[in-house]
Amino acid sequence: MSKTSIYGLTFSELQAWLVEHGQLRFRAQQVWDWLYKKRVDSFTGMKNLNKDCVELLETHFHMTTLEQEIRQESSDGTNKFLFKLADGNIIETVLMRFHYGLSVCVTTQVGCNIGCSFCASGLLTKSRDLTAGEIVEQIMHVQKFLDEKGKGERVSHIVVMGIGEPFDNFDHLMNFLYIMNDSQGLNIGARHITVSTSGLAHKIYEFADKDIQVNLAISLHAPNNELRTSIMKINRAFSIEKLMESVKYYLDKTNRRITYEYILLQDVNDHKQEAEQLANLLYNHRHLAYVNLIPYNTVDEHIQYQRSTKESIQKFYETLKGRGINCGVRWEQGADIDAACGQLRSKQLKKQQAAKK
Ligand code: SAH
Ligand code: SF4
């Protein structure tokens, strides 16, 4: 019998599982206390469980399947973790410090099939989806790392913006969100959690219908189809029109603000004309829109792209502002430690391949 991660079960799934296996319902509360409040590392450490229950859990579940391979700390306090999964695949997770709290960026897939032309994660096609347990474990590992420092620091925010397309792993993503948001667990507020998608419109409808108040970010990166298709091939399947229809549904249903991510690539999508087009595109629902301008992090393999200059970034920002669009520039964290999405992982894979030769 193959074991799965205990962290992959929502509270009600664990309750049902325990009852099915002859245990009392309230054991679920005890197990979750040990997992998420006391944060023990083994089932035997769950002191108020009887021996039978501990044995049952040990037979069916793992507690940790991630192994930390590397941790890099940047001068601005950003920590980047590289983990080896049970099957040998590697993924990365990033802890960032902001004035409002501690935010963790999680990975949802091993690689990514969307293949955006500027991204390090898409250099390698997806080999598999992560399970909900593997996504939860990334947060737990970082929280335990903070616990060890003894300062009482808590992961307060989550961004689902690491390697992978979260909406291409929808069910596991949803379980991860429910587990993180559960008041009986880590109790991270839904409004403190953001999921970023490259624009899988059919999943935006589905996400809008879920009863969880998690924030949505859409990686737009271009205001017209021609340009968007040239840098993001997903735009062939979900054009800007299709995307905007799903956005309308989402806004009508939730009345929650959407963040639009826009990477600034020098001389590709950073002209005044694109800023104007972007403003036009978002104008009708500007009260529920925020544009996050992201200065491009160069990726060795994508030599065709350069980061826009400070002046063009500033101009782009001002054009949007001038048209009444809420926006800001996201200056990167951890610039000295391979900050771009998927960069540390791709470097490590190259090292491993070189070592094999
Ligand atoms: N697949 C999802 C979530 C992960 S990518 C998505 O695309 O939205 C998270 C964000 O990082 C996206 O907005 C993505 O476009 C951006 N990104 C990718 N490569 C980057 C790079 N080299 N520099 C800056 N941002 C990058
Ligand atoms: Fe995948 Fe997002 Fe990278 Fe595009 S930007 S390749 S969707 S991880």
pLDDT tens for each residue of the chain, 357 residues long: 689 999 999 999 999 999 999 999 999 999 999 999 999 999 999 999 999 999 999 999 999 899 999 999 998 889 999 999 999 999 999 999 999 999 999 999 999 999 899 998 767 789 999 999 999 999 999 999 999 999 999 999 999 999 999 999 999 999 999 999 999 999 999 999 999 999 999 999 999 999 899 999 999 999 999 999 999 999 999 999 999 999 999 999 999 999 999 999 999 999 999 999 999 999 999 999 999 999 998 888 878 899 999 999 999 999 999 999 999 998 766 656 555 455 566 666 666 666 665
164 CA to middle of ligand 2, Å?
Answer: 6
Backbone torsions φ then ψ of 101, nearest 5 degrees? 150, -165
Backbone angles phi, psi at 150, to 5 degrees: 70, 20
Cβ–ligand 1 distance for 292 under 6 Å, the answer no
CB within 8 Å of 96: residues ≥ 6 apart: 77, 78, 102, 103, 104, 105, 333, 334
The residue contributing the CA closest to ligand 2 atom 8 is 164
Annotation: binding site for [4Fe-4S] cluster: 112, 116, 119
The residue among 62, 81, 98 that closes a domain is: 62
- 139 lies in the same domain as 246: yes
In a shared domain, residues 19 and 57: yes
Q: What are phi and psi of 129, to 5 degrees?
A: -80, 150
The answer to whether residues 52 and 71 belong to one domain is no
The CATH number of residue 94's host domain is: 3.20.20.70
Residue 112 Cβ inside 6 Å of ligand 2? The answer reads: yes
Q: How many domains does the chain fold into?
A: 2
Task: Provide the token pair at 220.
Answer: 């737009």
The last residue of a domain, from among 62, 87, 108: 62
Give CA separation, 1 vs 4, 60, 61, 240, in Å.
10, 8, 10, 46
Q: How confident is the model at residue 330, as a pLDDT?
A: 86
pLDDT of residue 5: 95
What are the backbone angles phi and psi of residue 307, rounded to the nearest 5°?
Answer: -70, 140
Pocket test for ligand 2, best of 108, 110, 118, 121 (most atoms within 8 A of CB): 121
State if residue 195 touches ligand 2 by the CB under 6 angstroms criterion.
no
Residue 196 Cβ < 6 Å to ligand 1: yes
Q: Which of 43, 62, 81 is the last residue of a domain?
A: 62
pLDDT at 85: 96
Atom of ligand 2 nearest to the CA of 198: 7
| One domain for residues 155 and 264 | yes
| Same domain, yes or no: 11 and 116 | no
Q: pTM of the prediction?
A: 0.94
What is the model's pLDDT at position 172? 98
Catalytic machinery residues: 92, 341
Q: Give Cα separations from 22 to 15, 16, 18, 53, 60 (angstroms).
A: 11, 10, 6, 9, 14
Ligand 1: atom nearest CA of 163 is 4
In which region does residue 218 sit, left (phi positive, over 0), alpha (psi from -120 to 50) or beta (all else)? Answer: beta
Residue 176 corresponds to which tokens in the numbers above? 């991860």
Is residue 28 lining ligand 1, measured as CB closer than 6 Å? no
Same domain for 344 and 276 = yes
The predicted pLDDT at position 111 comes to 93
Residues 223 and 77 in one domain: yes
What is the domain-level CATH number for residue 45?
1.10.150.530
Determine the structural domain holding residue 37 and report its residue range.
Answer: 4-62
CA 65, CA 120: separation in Å to the nearest integer? 25
Q: Which residue has the tokens 């994660």?
A: 121
Does 220 contact ligand 2 (Cβ within 6 A)?
A: no
Ligand index nearest the alpha carbon of residue 217: 1
In a shared domain, residues 236 and 286:
yes
Q: Which atom of ligand 1 is nearest to the CA of 160?
A: 3
Q: Residues 125, 99: one domain?
A: yes
Q: What ligand has the least distance to the C-alpha of 122?
A: 2
**Measured from the CB, is residue 65 less than 6 Å from ligand 1?**
no
204 lines ligand 1 (CB under 6 A): no
- Distance between alpha carbon 314 and the CA centroid of its chain, in Å? 27
Together in a domain, 25 and 169: no
The single residue listed with the structure tokens 């074991």 is: 3
- Give the Cα-Cα-Cα angle 275, 280, 285 (nearest 5 degrees): 120
Ligand 1 mean position, distance from CA 161 (Å): 7
202 CA distance to ligand 2 middle (Å): 17
219/160 same-domain check = yes
124 and 157 fall within a common domain: yes
Write down the pLDDT at residue 298.
85
Of the residues 129, 234, 341, which should be mutated to test ligand 1's pocket, given the most ligand atoms within 8 Å of the CB? 341
Q: Residues within the annotated binding site for S-adenosyl-L-methionine? A: 164-165, 196, 219-221, 297
pLDDT at 263: 96
Ligand 1 atom 1: residue of nearest CA? 165
